[in-house]
Amino acid sequence: QVQLVESGGGLVQAWGSLTLSCRASGMILRIHDMAWYRQAPGNQRELVAGITYKGITNYSDSVKGRFTISRDNAKNTMYLQMSSLKPEDTAVYSCNTARQSSPWGQGTQVTVSS
């Protein structure tokens, strides 16, 4: 049974930093193209960053240069390092495959205050 568990969110002031974690069970992260998504109230879920099974990364224009996606194969965990956070980064952050083929976890709330 596939399960993705996100953690690491919280309340942070603008220009602060947070690192999110996505721990997987029932699947091997390194053989999938994976991604981080976020959904702000009233908005649709959007892609934030992705990492292919080869380790190639991509970012949305809104986070490029501020966020870094990475993966620890030994821990079967994916990370999202976020810096220079802005109030508009406030959202629930979730992880999934690039095809969104796994069950969604609860996500982790990130709130950035101005």
**What is the rounded distance in angstroms from the CA atom of residue 19 to the CA atom of residue 52?**
20
Residue-wise pLDDT for 76-112, tens only, equals 999 999 999 999 999 999 999 999 999 999 999 999 9
**What is the rounded distance in angstroms from the CA atom of residue 56 to the CA atom of residue 91?**
25
**What is the rounded distance in angstroms from the CA atom of residue 108 to the CA atom of residue 9?**
5
**What is the rounded distance in angstroms from the CA atom of residue 74 to the CA atom of residue 87?**
34
Model confidence at 6, in pLDDT bands (50, 70, 90)? very high
Please name the residues in contact with 51: beta carbons below 8 A apart, sequence gap of 6 or more: 33, 34, 35, 57, 58, 69, 70, 71, 78
